[in-house]
């Protein structure tokens, strides 16, 4: 495989806080346009790993490149080429829908015409034409979540990081949300998503399961189910998570 | 009982874990008492004095030496020209200019009457009045030493005694004020914000659907703050008696009794604020602007209520801290007993009942 | 549009929509500048006086009349015994007792000397002291009058006298409010600057939006400037509102050198915003940020010379006071508004505050880490 086809490459990526090793020498590649699931119990190190890849936190050791940029030297360049949606809801509640789009589009460098076009397209796709002037705090949670995702990819990043994006959302909205993820992936955006929901793991092209800071299993969901001799990802996860020593 | 203990434990954890806030709560009164004890005072001393001596003979030099020798003045410069005075005062180089006119000593010797001129930066009228009074006193002493002590006929002597606080310390008025202020912060601000926070996080709902009665939830919130308040009051009292040498002349149990009542008044006020809003920010704003500022303004310890316009004096009656201040003053400084504070205690109890009544009313509305 | 202008636009929209902030901006100056100067009036007046007259003579009645007609005193008790008068002090109904002894008039005439006793409640030291001082002055005036009735003075003074002529500059009416208003305005600007900045940034931390910004290509300085500029503008608006109120309500005319105040405040706000930024960097929750700001603001205010003169502090405390930015603004406000200072008079202060502003902001930007 040529390196240019890879979005994320990590090798022995490690993060230590004092004597505690939050992420312990993880190595994996994520291909362009892939939907890559990152699973693990609370405290397994998913969020820490993601923070290193998004440039929020400096690794203790190991190597990683994201969108071709090194996480040590080029963190600022990485930020220009990724999108991010955190588990905490990150739109401004006291700004209108349109203002949020303009703000985030603006800080990712979209200029007037491009911003206008992207904004119109986004509103149209979400069917939010009637809500352009609504405060975000007055939108139903499902819409907020979809809006947050759309905004996180408004600048056409090559990768988008989603940190437990569907927490607290009803099943119908979750379904719609995943449809949006597929659409984004079809447009060539690499998706890196952490989740608790094992049925969502089935939607991913490949998944990595983290236990106690290490990647214990990596592969396509179907592959993993065969390897662990079971029918569900739930069971795969359960078999691995049982071995965990650290809890929440 | 078991439930109550479980809840109280939880509250104690919350308070104890937020180290920064706890540090501020305990540190604030300590720093304030220390500042008032060691740094701040209204005493006027080391006033920067600029001298224009146009007389320049032995007597005028002696007079200026006399002024210099007092602890109240520091001579920062000498000049010739009265025209310089404005510039000197404006730039803050000196606060006062003393002009000794050319004929000062000859006038005093020959016509028994001499003039001095003082040009004072009077932006603070009290300081200016005090400075002027000091120079007058120094000039009187100077006349007496120069001319010999003269006994005047028909003299009315005034024998003055300063009651309660003969050294005229500012701390006496300040200690009860610091107590009232810190109680406002802990009992009103902290309590209301912590209840509203639980509402925001949705924990309140969880507690309310649990088999615990709302009364227990509220009481368990209040008890740790009550204890913390008593602890901080003890620290303040200990510091003020040792460092500031402010006496506790009255009964210490009465002092704690009255303080406990004021704590309860404040706690019910915090509770009331928490029933009015669902947002931490608003709760903070109401507590700060609505309660803390008025307490500082009308608590009687920073600004004398008697000097305020009538309307403000009437307004001050609705501030519980004012009544607490009166009661604490009577007990601590004046050493009076129960008979002189029962009125204040009754008023504080009245406030408590009022706040509690409104809170219950609000609470019922929410449930129905 | 540059990143900075995008952030600024967002901040201004948010501020304009936040009713709490808007209320704060308009109500704080009004409440503080309207009510506080009246409340913070240390001018001692309306002193309650109780008189114990055991002489019941013409002189005693005349002296009591003098007290009644003075502007400083209010006769609240006319008692027959000292014991009863003391009860009035205990109940806070009297601040001063003047006791005129039996045979006062007779003693004065026969023995050339008589004594009046004066007891002041000194729980509030300043009030007790000044009250006693005013009472003594009334007795002295009364004394001179009596003396002049008994002795015909020759043309030249029989006793040598040094007259002191007082010229009080800058506050001719000796008005305490005039003294307080500029200081209160200084505190107001300080509080708005530090509190709001700290709370605003911590709020983004609490909501989680700050993380969203941290993974974006926004530069550290763009984010910080985007936060500082709106509050800098707010501070300048508060200054303007405050000046208008002081002019209309308190009759303080700023004069032609008002620009000095604006220049100084512009630099001063930089320092204060830097402090707000520092506090936000070390706080996780709004409650914490508020407590910490409150703690420092209170110390800053107490040490600023607003209530007690800096000159009255011991040497070490004066050093501390001149490390406190608020001291500088309070001083400059008074210099410009009351004393009509020239630019050269405040230049020294301006240099120090600018230096402090740079240092504080460098420290704040350095401690604000986009990565942790």
What residues of C are in contact with residue B14 (Cβ under 8 Å)? none
- Tell me what pLDDT residue A247 has: 52
Q: Tokens in use for C225?
A: 């400037």
Q: Which residues of C touch B281 (CB under 8 A)?
A: 20, 199, 286
Is residue A80 less than 8 Å (CB to CB) from chain C? Answer: yes
Backbone angles phi, psi at C175, to 5 degrees: -100, 120
Domains contained in chain A, CATH given:
3-90+158-241 (3.40.50.300)
Please judge whether A107 and C216 are an interchain contact, meaning their C-beta atoms are less than 8 angstroms apart: yes
Q: What is the pLDDT of residue C371?
A: 45
What SS3 class is residue C78?
strand
8 Å CB contact of C215 and A55: yes
Tell whether the model's pLDDT for residue A1 goes beyond 60: no
- B252-276 helix and B214-242 helix, angle to the nearest 10 degrees: 140
CB contacts, 8 Å: C212 with chain A = 84-86, 90, 104
First vs last C-alpha separation in chain A: 38
Q: Is the Cβ of C40 closer than 8 Å to some Cβ of chain A?
A: no
**Could you say which of C7, C13, C215 has the minimum Cβ distance to residue A99?**
C13
> Out of A79, A94, A102, whose CB is closest to C216?
A79
Which residues of chain B have a CB within 8 Å of the CB of C120?
160-163
Using a CB–CB cutoff of 8 Å, tell me whether C212 touches chain A.
Answer: yes
- B200-247 pLDDT per residue, tens: 766 666 666 666 666 777 787 788 889 889 998 898 888 888 887 788
**E strand residue ranges, C54-101:** 73-79, 96-100
Whether A133 and chain C come into contact, CB under 8 Å, resolves to: no
Contact B143/C24, CB-based, under 8 Å?
no
User: Given an 8 Å threshold on Cβ–Cβ distance, is C371 in contact with A76?
Assistant: no
Interchain contact C19–A (C-beta under 8 A): no
Which segment, B149-153, B304-308, C97-101, is predicted with the most confidence on average? Answer: C97-101
Cα end-to-end distance, chain C, whole Å = 29
Cβ within 8 Å, pair C162-B142 = yes
How far apart are the CA of A229 and the nearest CA of chain C, in angstroms? 40
The angle formed by the CA atoms of residues A232, A233 and A236, to the nearest 5 degrees, is: 100
Q: A85 to chain C: which residues are within 8 Å by CB? A: 212
Assign domain C47-150 to its CATH architecture.
3-Layer(aba) Sandwich (3.40)
Q: Do A92 and C6 touch (CB under 8 A)?
A: no
Looking at beta carbons, which residues of chain B come within 8 Å of C35?
Answer: 297, 312
Contact A58 C208 (CB under 8 A): no
How far from B107 is each of B110, B123, B147, C160, CA to CA, in Å?
5, 32, 13, 10
ipTM: 0.74
Which member of C7, C209, C217 has the closest CB to residue A79?
C217
Q: How far is CA B38 from the centre of its chain?
A: 15
**B278 with B261: CB under 8 angstroms?**
no
The tens digit of pLDDT for each residue in A150-173 reads 998 988 899 999 988 887 778 888
pLDDT at C295: 83
Cβ atoms B278, B196 nearer than 8 A: yes
Structure tokens at B154: 């028909």
Contact yes or no for A99 and C3 at CB 8 A: no
pLDDT of residue B332: 85
Query: Above pLDDT 90, what percent of chain B?
Result: 9
**How many CB atoms are closer than 10 A to CB C160?**
18
pLDDT by residue, tens only, chain C of 372 residues: 578 888 888 888 888 887 777 777 777 778 778 877 777 666 667 788 999 998 888 888 999 999 988 888 888 888 888 888 888 888 778 889 999 998 888 888 888 888 899 998 887 777 787 788 888 888 888 887 887 777 665 555 566 667 777 777 777 766 777 888 888 889 888 888 888 888 888 888 887 788 888 888 888 788 888 888 999 998 999 899 889 988 888 888 876 688 999 999 999 999 999 999 888 888 888 878 888 888 888 888 888 888 778 888 888 888 888 999 999 999 999 888 888 888 888 899 999 999 999 999 888 888 876 544
Cβ within 8 Å, pair C162-B143: yes
- CB contacts under 8 A, C 102-141 vs A, are none
Greater pLDDT, B101 or A1: B101
How do beta strands A69-70 and A61-66 pair?
A: antiparallel
For an interface test with B, give the residue of C124, C147, C172 to mutate (most B CBs within 10 A). C124
* Shortest Cα–Cα distance, B27 to chain C (Å): 9
The per-residue pLDDT for C133 is 80
Cα–Cα–Cα angle for B328, B331, B336, rounded to 5 degrees:
145
Two structure tokens written together for A17: 């806080």
Q: Which tops the pLDDT comparison, B16 or A29? A: A29
Q: What percent of chain A has pLDDT over 70?
A: 96
Q: Does C341 sit within 8 Å of B39, measured CB to CB?
A: no
Distance, in Å, from the CA atom of C238 to the CA atom of A193, rounded to the nearest integer, reads: 47
Contacts of B293 (CB under 8 A, 6+ apart): C31
The better pLDDT of the pair A105, B173 is held by A105
In degrees and rounded to multiples of 5, residue C313 shows phi and psi of -80, 155
In chain C, what residues touch A57 (CB-CB under 8 Å)? 371-372
> Which of C5, C217, C219, C221 would best serve as a mutation to test chain A binding (most A beta carbons within 10 A)?
C217
Calpha distance C90→C107 (Å, rounded): 31
Q: What pLDDT digit, counting tens, does each position of B25-71 carry?
A: 888 888 888 887 777 777 777 888 999 988 888 888 888 898 888 88
Q: What confidence category does residue A4 fall into, taking pLDDT thresholds of 50, 70 and 90?
A: low
Segment B78-90 shows an average pLDDT of: 84
What is the nearest CA distance from A102 to chain C, expressed in angstroms? Answer: 8
pLDDT grade for B364, boundaries at 50, 70 and 90: low
Instruction: Using CB atoms, pick whichever of C38, C125, C169 lies closest to residue B168.
Output: C125
pLDDT at residue B203, rounded to an integer: 67
B288: alpha, beta or left? (left if phi > 0; alpha if psi -120 to 50): alpha
Cα(C178)–Cα(C176) distance, integer angstroms: 5
Contact assignment for C28 to B302 by CB distance below 8 Å: no
Nearest of A60, A202, C298, C306 to residue B293 by alpha carbon: C298
B107-121 b/e with 16+ CB inside 10 Å = b?
Answer: bbeeebebbbbbbbb
**Pairwise CB contact (< 8 Å): C14 & A95:** yes
The CATH number of B47-147 is which of 3.40.1710.10, 3.30.465.10, 3.40.1190.20, 3.40.50.2300? 3.40.1710.10
List chains touching C (3+ CB pairs under 8 A). A, B
Can you give the length of chain C in residues? 372
Nearest to A207 by CA among A186, A193, A189, A197: A193
Residue A145 parent element (H or E): helix A141-152
pLDDT mean across residues, chain C: 83
A112 contacts in C (CB within 8 Å)?
1
Cβ–Cβ < 8 Å for C205, C284 = yes
Residues 22-81 of C with CB under 8 A from B: 23-24, 27-28, 31, 35-36, 38-48
State the burial class of residue B81 (Cβ atoms within 10 Å of its Cβ: 0-12, 13-18, 19+).
exposed
**Given C121, C167, C313, which is nearest B120 (Cβ)?**
C167
The domains of chain B are located at 2-39+170-367, 47-147
| Predicted pLDDT at B263 | 92
Query: CB-CB: which of A58, A99, A104 is closest to C371?
Result: A58
* Residues of C with Cβ-Cβ distance to A86 under 8 angstroms: 208, 211-212
Across residues B300-328, what is the average pLDDT?
80
Instruction: Pick B118's closest partner by Cβ from C47, C151, C164.
Output: C164
Q: Which of residues 95-114 of C touch B (CB under 8 A)?
A: 95, 108-109, 112-114
| Count of pairs with CB atoms under 8 A, one residue in A, one in C | 77
A55, C7: Cβ pair inside 8 Å?
no
Question: Does B120 contact C169 at a Cβ distance shorter than 8 Å?
Answer: yes
Q: What is the mean pLDDT of residues A242-248?
A: 66
Q: Is B232 exposed, middle or buried (0-12, 13-18, 19+ CB in 10 A)?
A: buried
CA A3/CA B65 separation, integer angstroms: 90
What is the DSSP secondary-structure string of C151-217?
A: ----SS-SS-EEEEEEEEES-TT--HHHHHHHHHHHHHHHHIIIIIHHHHHHHHHHHTHHHHHHTSS
Q: Which chain C residues in 215-274 lie under 8 Å from chain B, judged by CB atoms?
A: none
| Integer-rounded Cα radius of gyration of chain A | 18
Beta strands in A79-153 (DSSP E): 82-85
Tell me which residue in B35, B121, B157 faces C115 most closely, judged by beta carbons.
Answer: B157
- pLDDT for B58 equals 87
The pLDDT value given to residue C372: 44
Strands across the sheet with C73-79, in order?
Answer: B155-163, C113-121, C96-100, C47-53, C73-79
CB-side neighbour CA atoms (13 Å) of C144: 6
Domain boundaries, given as residue ranges, for chain C: 3-40+175-367, 47-150
The encoded tokens of residue C294 equal 């409150």
Nearest CB to C171: which of B31, B125, B135? B125
At C262-308, the pLDDT tens digits run 999 999 999 999 999 888 888 888 878 888 888 888 888 888 888 77
Question: What residues in B contact C119, CB-CB < 8 Å?
Answer: 160-161, 163
Interface B:C, Cβ pairs < 8 A? 326
Let me know: does B219 contact B210? Beta carbons within 8 Å.
no
Tens digits of residue pLDDT in C120-131: 888 777 778 778
Angle at the Cα of B336 from the Cα atoms of B333 and B342, rounded to 5 degrees: 120
Backbone angles phi, psi at C369, to 5 degrees: -105, 130
Q: Touch between chain A and chain B (3+ CB pairs, < 8 Å)?
A: no
- Tell me what the pLDDT averaged over chain B comes to: 81
């Amino acid at each position: 495989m040529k390196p240019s086809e890879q979005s994320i490459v990590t090798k022995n990526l490690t993060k230590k806080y004092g004597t505690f090793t939050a992420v312990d020498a993880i190595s994996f590649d994520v291909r362009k346009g892939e939907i890559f699931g990152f699973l693990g119990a609370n405290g397994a190190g998913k969020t820490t790993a993601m923070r290193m890849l998004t440039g929020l936190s400096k690794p203790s050791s190991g190597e990683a490149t994201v969108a071709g940029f090194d996480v040590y030297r080029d963190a600022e360049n990485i930020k220009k080429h990724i999108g991010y949606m955190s588990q905490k809801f990150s739109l401004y509640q006291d700004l209108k829908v349109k203002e949020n789009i303009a703000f985030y589009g603006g800080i990712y460098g979209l200029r007037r015409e491009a911003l206008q076009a992207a904004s119109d397209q986004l509103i149209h796709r979400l069917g939010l034409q009637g809500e352009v002037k609504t405060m975000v705090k007055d939108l139903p949670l499902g819409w907020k979540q979809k809006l947050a995702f759309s905004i996180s990819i408004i600048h056409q990043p090559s990768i988008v990081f989603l940190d437990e994006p569907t927490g607290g959302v009803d099943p119908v909205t979750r379904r719609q949300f995943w449809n949006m993820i597929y659409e984004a992936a079809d447009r060539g955006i690499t998706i890196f998503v952490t989740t608790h929901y094992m049925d969502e793991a089935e939607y991913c092209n490949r998944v990595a399961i983290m236990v106690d800071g290490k990647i214990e299993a990596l592969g396509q969901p179907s592959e993993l189910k065969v390897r662990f001799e079971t029918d569900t990802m739930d069971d795969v996860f359960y078999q691995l998570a049982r071995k965990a020593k650290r809890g929440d | 009982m078991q439930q109550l203990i479980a809840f109280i434990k939880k509250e104690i954890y919350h308070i104890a874990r937020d180290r920064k806030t706890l540090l501020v709560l305990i540190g604030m009164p300590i720093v304030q008492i220390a500042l008032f004890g060691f740094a701040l005072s209204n005493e006027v001393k080391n006033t920067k004095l600029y001298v224009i001596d146009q007389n320049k003979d032995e007597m005028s030099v002696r007079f200026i030496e006399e002024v210099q020798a007092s602890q109240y003045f520091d001579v920062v410069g000498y000049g010739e020209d009265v025209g310089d005075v404005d510039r000197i005062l404006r730039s803050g180089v000196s606060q006062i200019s003393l002009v000794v006119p050319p004929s000062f000593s000859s006038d005093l010797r020959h016509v028994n009457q001499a003039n001095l001129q003082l040009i004072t930066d009077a932006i603070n009228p009290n300081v200016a009045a005090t400075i002027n009074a000091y120079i007058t006193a120094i000039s009187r002493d100077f006349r007496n030493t120069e001319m010999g002590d003269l006994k005047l006929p028909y003299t009315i002597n005034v024998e003055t005694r300063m009651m309660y606080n003969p050294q005229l310390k500012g701390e006496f008025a300040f200690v009860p004020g610091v107590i009232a202020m810190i109680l406002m912060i802990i009992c009103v601000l902290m309590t209301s914000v912590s209840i509203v926070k639980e509402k925001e996080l949705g924990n309140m709902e969880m507690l309310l659907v649990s088999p615990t009665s709302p009364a227990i939830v509220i009481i368990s919130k209040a008890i740790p703050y009550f204890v913390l308040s008593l602890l901080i009051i003890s620290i303040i009292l200990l510091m003020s008696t040792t460092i500031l040498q402010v006496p506790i002349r009255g009964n210490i149990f009465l002092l704690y009794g009255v303080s406990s009542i004021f704590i309860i008044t404040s706690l019910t006020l915090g509770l009331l604020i928490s029933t009015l809003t669902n947002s931490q920010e608003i709760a903070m704003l109401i507590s700060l602007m609505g309660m803390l500022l008025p307490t500082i303004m009308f608590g009687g310890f920073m600004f004398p209520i008697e000097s305020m316009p009538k309307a403000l004096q009437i307004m001050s009656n609705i501030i519980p801290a004012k009544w607490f201040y009166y009661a604490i003053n009577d007990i601590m400084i004046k050493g009076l007993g129960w008979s002189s504070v029962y009125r204040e205690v009754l008023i504080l109890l009245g406030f408590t009942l009022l706040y509690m009544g409104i809170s219950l009313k609000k609470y019922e509305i929410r449930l129905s | 549009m540059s990143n900075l202008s995008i952030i600024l636009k967002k901040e201004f929209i948010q501020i304009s929509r936040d009713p709490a902030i808007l209320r704060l901006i308009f109500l704080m100056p009004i409440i503080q500048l309207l009510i506080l100067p009246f409340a913070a009036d240390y001018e001692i007046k309306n002193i309650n006086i109780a008189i114990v007259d055991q002489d019941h003579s013409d002189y005693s009645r005349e002296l009591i009349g003098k007290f009644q007609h003075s502007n400083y005193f209010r006769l609240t008790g006319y008692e027959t015994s000292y014991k009863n008068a003391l009860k009035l002090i205990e109940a806070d109904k009297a601040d001063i007792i003047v006791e005129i002894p039996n045979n006062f008039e007779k003693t004065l005439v026969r023995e050339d000397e008589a004594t009046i006793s004066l007891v002041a409640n000194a729980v509030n030291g300043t009030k007790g002291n000044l009250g006693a001082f005013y009472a003594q002055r009334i007795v002295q005036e009364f004394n001179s009058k009596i003396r002049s009735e008994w002795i015909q003075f020759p043309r030249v003074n029989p006793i040598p006298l040094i007259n002191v002529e007082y010229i009080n500059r800058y506050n001719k009416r000796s008005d305490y409010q005039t003294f307080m208003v500029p200081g209160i305005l200084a505190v107001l600007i300080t509080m708005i600057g530090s509190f709001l900045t700290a709370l605003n940034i911590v709020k983004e931390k609490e909501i989680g939006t700050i993380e969203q910004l941290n993974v974006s290509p926004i530069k550290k300085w763009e984010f910080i400037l985007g936060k500082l500029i709106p509050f800098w503008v707010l501070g300048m608006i508060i200054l303007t509102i405050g000046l208008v109120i002081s002019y209309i309500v308190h009759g303080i005319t700023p004069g032609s050198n008002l620009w000095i105040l604006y220049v100084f405040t512009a630099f001063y706000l930089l320092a204060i915003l830097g402090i707000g930024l520092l506090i936000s960097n070390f706080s996780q929750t709004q409650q914490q940020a508020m407590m910490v700001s409150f703690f420092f603001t209170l110390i800053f205010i107490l040490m600023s010379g607003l209530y007690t003169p800096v000159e009255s502090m011991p040497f070490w405390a004066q050093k501390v006071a001149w490390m406190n930015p608020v001291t500088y603004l309070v001083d400059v406000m008074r210099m410009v508004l009351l004393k009509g200072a020239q630019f050269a008079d405040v230049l020294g202060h301006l240099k120090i505050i600018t230096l402090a502003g740079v240092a504080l902001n460098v420290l704040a930007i350095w401690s604000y880490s986009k990565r942790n």
